[in-house]
Chain A
Amino acid sequence: MAAKKKTDGKQLPGDATLRRELLQSMLLQRRFEEKVGEAYALGKIGGFCHLYIGQEAVSTGVLSMLRPDDYVITTYRDHGQALARGMSPRSIMAELFGRVDGCSRGKGGSMHLFDRSLNFLGGHGIVGGHVPIAAGVGFAIKYRGGDQVIACFMGESVVNTGAFHEALNMAALWKLPCLFIIENNRYGMGTSVERAAAIKDLSRRADAYDGMHGEYVDGQDVFAVRESMERSLETARRESKPVLLEIRTYRYMGHSMSDAVSGTYRTKAELDEYLKRDPINLLKARMLEAGDFTEADYAVIDQEIKTVCQDAWDFADASPEPALEALYEDILVDTTS
């Protein structure tokens, strides 16, 4: 249960290439969402839109450890995981713009990004609702005798829903290869975790189920997330047992676009405190210290990523809106098996 040892900045895990990939993955999410915020302000994106800024080490740390044939499912705050899983920035931006080249053909929007080719089983909009679905994917893996796992991301407010308990109980009972990943960003909309959960250490929810391992992880440190994932994957993949990770992070933006950055429910001082542990800045500082690159190299990487994000915007902007006929498409399939 205890937090695992801190990684030492001077002896960073992995090689320089891997570290650069991790940084690029996190920076892509950050720059992409900055563009999303801009597009939302211009009215190019509508509806509910929940930014992930501040949590990038969680998505990158978890998903960089998965295999392509593993499965991923998440909540409506799904841009970060979609990008970290390798979905095209163009198809995601087009989806947010409500265009036909979007990953969900403009039918889903920000909350419902799907990519079957990457086993990305979607962003889901009902808090807790996707957790039993993840257990079902775990069931199917076991049914077929496969050795894949499913990573199920959820916010910390999910641990108070009935769906969470029902799913974890079955996953433990039936020994399903599920990684239940709580991204504890401290707030369920505007309600802090202390005001919502009658438990302080959320990973201890695992204690309610025999044979389920739980631990908490520093979610601002991508290496800590990866290290925890390495152990967790051993349990899920080799032993076919579920794992509950509480990855502690922080949401730098409001709950959604209608929520001011600091809001009425948290203080500017609190936000500033967490900004000191920005996951991208932490990684960048360590890489500079380890001699992976210079500030000038970083600036080049950053510029390349900004170019990718601008390209995604341009692509989305040029993509047509779905034709009116699309309204009645994809309600049912007309096939049988």
Chain B
Amino acid sequence: MPIITYREALNQALREEMARDDRVFLMGEEVAAYNGAYKVSKGLLEEFGEMRVVDTPITELGFAGVGVGAAMVGLRPIIEFMTWNFALLAIDQIVNAAAKMLYMSGGQYPMPMVFRGPNGAALQLSAQHSQAFESWLAHIPGLKVVTPGTPYDAKGLLKAAIRDDNPVIVLEGEMLYNTKGEVPEGDYIVPIGKADLKREGDHCSIITSGKMVLVAMTAADQLAKEGIRVDVVDLRTVRPMDVEAITTSVRKTNRAVVLEEGWELAGIGAQVVDYIQRDCFDDLDAPVIRVHQADVPMPYAKAIEKAAKPDLAKTIAAVKKVMYIR
């Protein structure tokens, strides 16, 4: 199977879906002539033309709304945000318009559209460019939210998102774009709402998604050297969440660490822990521990930036703690 980058996987998904359905178009800042701020849309302008690969002014609220309007009358927009931090300017269109249209119209207006772009921190981008918004978006009924952590999942989930007749949020990762993995050529779908057991073990579950999948997999490798076998449950979709995959794993391992990129309060991990306490209370041999970003805006300076982020060392320490290993 070909090994390609996460960026190329997304590019394949866009190209294949645009070729498959001429109602699909890509719109956002620098997606066309510049080939994408992160080159995800490389070559698409040349292939599909300027009506289907549309450079916008820097006007997130405006072009997100253009996507909503186009979706209402039968097109299938893919709205790219250069980063999800900038999407805050467009949150009215995502939350008040896209997520509500079907419901408040009594079922008359489905919203077949995708909002996508990189989410979370990269390196030394400081407070305004480093935020992970999974829990903000997952909070909203009327949206689906996917968080691919590997090239395979990136292609399959983006294709599923484009074909879905609902508004789907695709949270990519700037630090993931260059990561590589096996990706089949041609058509396949990763179903939205299905988690993936990325590593099997019986001592502890690490439940995670998105960029943190890589951290969890590396932690699993290192812990294996110490004889500790972990399940890595990659949620892949955080709304709707695959509760069964979580509880099945925890019932097997009886211990869980929940790893996420965002902040602690009202984070995705808080919801995962709630599912665990509700369905696996009698299965637990230790309290569940969460690993997340420190409860601070992201700083710039290297050492304190590292201290703010969830990482490998914190994840390994958390697994050992739930296993009562000193």
Contact = CB atoms under 8 A, between A and B. Distances in A.
Nearest to A111: B104
Interface in B153-193: 160, 163-166
The bracket for how many chain A residues form the interface is 35 or more
A112 B66 CA distance: 19
- Kindly name the residue among A129, A130, A140 whose own CB sees the greatest number of chain B CB atoms within 10 A: A140
A337 B111 CA distance: 12
B72 A135 contact: no
Interface of A: 71, 73, 102-108, 112, 114-116, 121-122, 124-126, 129-143, 162-163, 166-167, 169-170, 173, 329-333, 335-337
Contacts of B63: 132, 166, 170
Contacts of A131: 65
B61 A139 contact: no
Contact of A104 (B70, B75, B105): B105
Contacts of A114: 104-106, 108-109
A337 B76 contact: yes
Given A170-B63, A173-B57, A337-B112, A133 B106 contact: no
Given A121-B72, A136-B68, A136-B70, A129 B102 contact: no
Contacts of B142: 331-332
30 contacts: A71-B73, A73-B69, A103-B106, A107-B105, A114-B105, A121-B73, A126-B96, A126-B97, A129-B65, A129-B96, A131-B65, A132-B61, A133-B66, A133-B97, A136-B65, A136-B70, A140-B73, A162-B61, A163-B61, A163-B65, A166-B59, A166-B65, A167-B65, A169-B59, A170-B56, A170-B57, A170-B62, A329-B107, A337-B112, A337-B165
Given A170-B59, A337-B165, A129 B106 contact: no
Contacts of B165: 333, 335-337
B93 interface: yes
**What 3 A-B pairs have minimum CB-CB distances, sorted nearest first?**
A136-B69, A132-B65, A166-B62
B64 interface: yes
A308 B106 CA distance: 24
B255 interface: no
Interface of A is mostly: mixed
Contacts of B164: 336
B281 interface: no
A105 B66 contact: no
Contacts of B74: 140
Contacts of B148: none
B61 A166 contact: yes
Interface residues of B, number: 46
B51 A143 contact: yes
A289 to B, nearest CB: 43
Interface string B93-127: 10011000111111111101000000000000000
A103 B92 CA distance: 24
Contacts of B59: 166, 169-170
Interface of B: 21, 25, 51, 56-57, 59, 61-77, 92-93, 96-97, 101-110, 112, 141-142, 144, 160, 163-166
Contact of B75 (A121, A143, A329): A143
Contact of B73 (A112, A137, A166, A333): A137
A301 to B, nearest CB: 32
B67 A136 contact: yes
B137 to A, nearest CB: 14
A115 B109 CA distance: 9
A169 B93 CA distance: 17
Contacts of A112: 104-105
A105 B57 contact: no
A138 B67 CA distance: 11
A52 B41 CA distance: 47
B112 to A, nearest CB: 6
Contacts of B71: 136
B242 to A, nearest CB: 16
Given A124-B97, A336-B164, A170 B66 contact: yes
Nearest to B189: A336
Given A126-B96, A132-B61, A116 B66 contact: no
B258 to A, nearest CB: 26
A166 B112 CA distance: 23
Contacts of A126: 92, 96-97
